[in-house]
């Protein structure tokens, strides 16, 4: 859980009053990613080294991102239930926008395309996410240059001062989605067969 003493706004005082430099930074970052050589995507990592961002931490960043939005004044006047919907929607953007904020604050941080991914946690309805410093997807990601000062800077900017970076398992989401799809197909086929069987039984009984 992120420290309550370090809010996103305090840790990144550079961004205040919906500072447009943030959006300029977003565009500059996306341009820099587009300028990278086109390569075949590497294997998806199965383990990653970094900091855990739990639901409370991501909600706090989502709240902060809402403050940066152009319609922030109207959003923060919404009734609690409608504001909660806006907050949940903003939380979906955290995995994309938070790395950009951190890159903007710490330019020397090595670039990793999948900077945030969900962490495997049995039975979790809303699994925590990891802000990745290294992963085992590629050799370059595995050996991304890090030093204690850089790690400390990332920790402070994220507001997770009580944590030390660790290795965590990354679920193979694509396989789970395929399995779920096959499960649904099998259940559909079985349900259809049962209905046909019941229809045949009824047909025989009526004769």
- Other CB atoms within a 10 A radius of the CB of residue 200 amount to 10
Bridge-based pairing of strands 116-118 and 129-135 is: antiparallel
- Other CB atoms within a 10 A radius of the CB of residue 155 amount to 20
Please choose, from the candidates 122, 121, 124, 129, the residue with its C-alpha nearest in 3D space to the C-alpha of residue 91. 129
CA dihedral 22, 24, 25, 26 (to 10 degrees): 90
Counting Cα atoms < 13 Å in the Cβ hemisphere of 144 gives 21
Q: Which residues contact 60 (CB under 8 A, 6 or more apart)?
A: 2, 7, 8, 159
pLDDT at residue 26, rounded to an integer: 60
pLDDT at residue 119, rounded to an integer: 86
CA distance 202 to 189: 20
Rounded mean pLDDT, 35-50 = 68
Rounded to two decimals, the pTM is 0.66
> Are residues 98 and 131 in contact, defined by beta-carbon separation less than 8 angstroms?
yes
CA distances from 98 to 63, 78, 124, 132, 187 (A): 12, 24, 22, 12, 40
CA distance 65 to 72: 9
CA distance 102 to 12: 9
> What percentage of residues in the chain have a pLDDT greater than 70?
61
pLDDT at residue 65, rounded to an integer: 87
pLDDT at residue 57, rounded to an integer: 92
**CA angle centred on 62, ends 30 and 17, rounded to 5°:** 80
178 or 28: which leads in pLDDT: 28
3-state class of 4 per DSSP?
A: coil
Residue in this structure with the two tokens 């079985």, named with its chain if needed? 190
Per-residue pLDDT band at 172 (split at 50, 70, 90): low
């Amino acid at each position: 859980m992120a420290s309550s003493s370090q809010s996103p706004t305090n840790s990144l005082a550079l961004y205040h009053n919906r500072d447009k430099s943030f959006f300029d930074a977003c565009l500059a970052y996306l341009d820099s990613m587009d300028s990278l050589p086109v390569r075949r995507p590497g294997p998806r990592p199965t383990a990653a080294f970094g900091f855990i961002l739990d639901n409370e931490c991501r909600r706090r960043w989502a709240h902060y991102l809402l403050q940066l939005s152009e319609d922030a004044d109207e959003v923060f006047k919404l009734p609690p239930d409608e504001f909660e919907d806006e907050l949940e929607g903003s939380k979906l953007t955290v995995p994309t926008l938070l790395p950009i904020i951190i890159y903007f604050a710490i330019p020397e941080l090595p670039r990793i395309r999948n900077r945030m991914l969900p962490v495997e946690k049995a039975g979790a309805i809303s699994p925590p996410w990891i802000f990745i410093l290294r992963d085992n997807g590629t050799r370059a990601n595995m050996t991304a240059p890090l030093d204690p000062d850089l790690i400390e800077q990332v920790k402070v900017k994220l507001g997770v001062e009580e944590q030390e970076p660790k290795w965590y398992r990354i679920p193979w989401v694509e396989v789970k989605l395929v399995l779920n799809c096959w499960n649904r197909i099998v259940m559909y086929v079985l349900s259809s067969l049962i209905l046909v069987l019941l229809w045949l039984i009824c047909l025989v009984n009526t004769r």
